[in-house]
Each structure stands twice: as structure tokens, then as C-alpha cells.
Amino acid sequence: MRTIDIHAHLVPQSLWRAADAGKPWYGYRHEPGEGVGTVVGGDGKRFGFTSPKVRFTPEERIQDMDAQGVDVQVVSIHTPLFGHHLDPAQGLELAREVNDEVAGLTRQWPQRFAGLATLPVQDVKLAIDELERAVTVLGLKGAELDTQVNGEQWDEAKFLPLFKAAEAMSAVLFFHPQPQHNFLMERTPRDGLFNSLGVILDDAIVVAILISGGVLEACPDLRVCIAHGGGPACYAMGRLDRGWQGRPEGRRIPQPPSAYQRRLYYDSVTGSEAALRFLLDQVGADRVVLGSDWPFVPWHPSPVAWVQGLQSLTREEKERILWRNLESLLGL
């Protein structure tokens, strides 16, 4: 059975080359320390790495994929490195360098890697141009996006041309929040809640914004996947519907929010079998795809083995999750 993983991160080799030389990388600075150290961004945000695999060479990465039973990784940048806080010109330079590196992986190992671009979304025109280059010139499958842009939400009118462009190109947009930027970090740094809970709350928020803000209504053929199973978004659809029904004067969409949830795709990084089963029952097996959050989630022994071993899933559901949905969605 073939396996395709949409949720696999990359820390660029160019960042490690700069770190080894003691130089900054687009304003990001590496500090040696425990494990593989810490990176400090120009915006002052700090993040450490929970896995030494972030320094793997492509060959080591493929060996790890083999050990986990993953045939194809859809590679995207590690989210704290989006660089959305940079000025647009520098943000574009970062994106082009990263996208060229990802495309290099897909060219050298076309049977093992597909790629998603990163975009300088702080400037929508530059982002559209880079998405077009990434898809039509580099052969990438779409782009990974944060769940917000420097505090702005995706239903702002300024972002609609980007969605229209992605729709026209059949580009897949994979939404993944930055753990260091969610609001739970401001409430408590304890117990890792900003990551275990804060991240999935951001996932749910972007689902609600894409739906209630009219993005999916305006772009009916847009291809969107949400990380971490969309967080609690589908669990909350009843409340979203009730809010839509109770405020007719404020509606921006003609149908209740639940009518749009099946237009999205969701990865399988839900944290439990019960959560994945609920997601499948809400959106259908044709809308859930394999994710691993490589290399940050310690799967035992692998995300593939986890899905294969779930008793509540049928064989057809497992096949759809493990490869069939992504093969169709990405044109692999």
C-alpha cells in the first residue's frame, strides 16, 4: 500500500550553513545549546528544536522515511521560519531560496518528495508572483500558509486575489499555525499548552474564518488542507451554525458553516483514534489525509503503522487516508 505524508517540515540547509559559519539567516540567529540549539528571530521569538532530525541530510531523511513506511513526503518549511515579519523584499528573497531548495529535493528524488512553497504573504502581489513561479516553474504543488499574517486574518479583502490565483492554478494551500505566535502563549507558558492546545485552537480559528469570512464561498474550487485535523473546528460546527442562524443581519455566507466543512481537507494528526473517527464521520473519508508533523511528533513506531492499526477504520478508509486522497489532490 502506497503512503503519502502531507505534513513534513524542512529546516533549510542554508540556515544550517549560516549557523555553522556564525552568520544570521534572514535575521534569524542560531544559538548553540542543548540538542541542536535555539533559533531567535528578528521579531524576538525564540524556538528550540525537539528533534535532532531537523539537521538530517536528504539522504538521512529518506532513510527515516523508509523506517516509518512513508513513500512520499510533501515537504514544507518549519513554520517559525515563514519570515512574515520581514520587509517584503527580504521576505521574497527568503521564500525564493527555500522554494528552490524544496524544488531541488523533488527534482533529485521525484519518487520520494513533493513540495509546498512558502510565500511572502506580507505583500500579496509578491506572494501571487512567487506562487506562480513555484507551481509553474519549480513544479511545487502549492504553498504552506500560517493561520494569520502579522495579526491580520485571511478573510481580509486584500488576500482574496491570492486565493483566486491559487484556485486558478489548482494549487493546494496547507494551513499550519506557528506555535510561538498563538494567544495561549500569552496566557501561560506552562506545560507546553501553547503547543498541545494553542496550535489546534488556531487551526479551528482559520477553518472558521475561511468559512464564515466567505473565502470558500468566493473560491468554490479552492484546494485547502488544515493541519492537525483542523483542531476542534468540526466539533464546534453546531455552535458556528447556531451563531449563523441567530444573526441573519451579519451573515457573510448564504449557507450555514457546516455546509462548507467538506470543502476542506484535514490531516490525520488528531492525537487519538476517537478524534480521527469523529473527523471521518463529520467530513467523510475522502477528506482526510495522512500527516506526521515530521520530525516533531514522536510516533511509535510510525504514523503509517498508527493508521493501519486503528480498529475503528475500514480498510477503504485507511487506503484513502494513507495515499488515495493525496494522490488525487496533488496529482501525484
pLDDT over 90 at 1, yes or no: no
Q: Tell me, what's the pLDDT at 35?
A: 82
Each residue's pLDDT tens digit, 64-117: 999 999 999 999 999 999 999 999 999 999 999 999 999 999 999 999 999 999
Each residue's pLDDT tens digit, 267-316: 999 999 999 999 999 999 999 999 999 999 989 889 999 999 999 999 99
Q: Tell me, what's the pLDDT at 194?
A: 83
Each residue's pLDDT tens digit, 176-230: 998 777 778 778 878 888 888 889 999 999 999 999 999 999 999 999 999 999 9
Each residue's pLDDT tens digit, 141-153: 999 999 999 999 9
Residue length, the chain? 332
Q: Tell me, what's the pLDDT at 69?
A: 96
Q: Tell me, what's the pLDDT at 34?
A: 82
pLDDT over 80 at 234, yes or no: yes
Q: CA-CA distance, 252 to 241, in Å (whole number)? A: 13
Each residue's pLDDT tens digit, 4-34: 999 999 999 999 999 999 999 999 999 988 8
Q: Tell me, what's the pLDDT at 321?
A: 98
Select from 92, 97, 90 the least CA-distant residue to 128.
Answer: 92
Q: What residue ranges define each of the domains in the chain, with the CATH number in brackets? A: 4-12+53-330 (3.20.20.140)
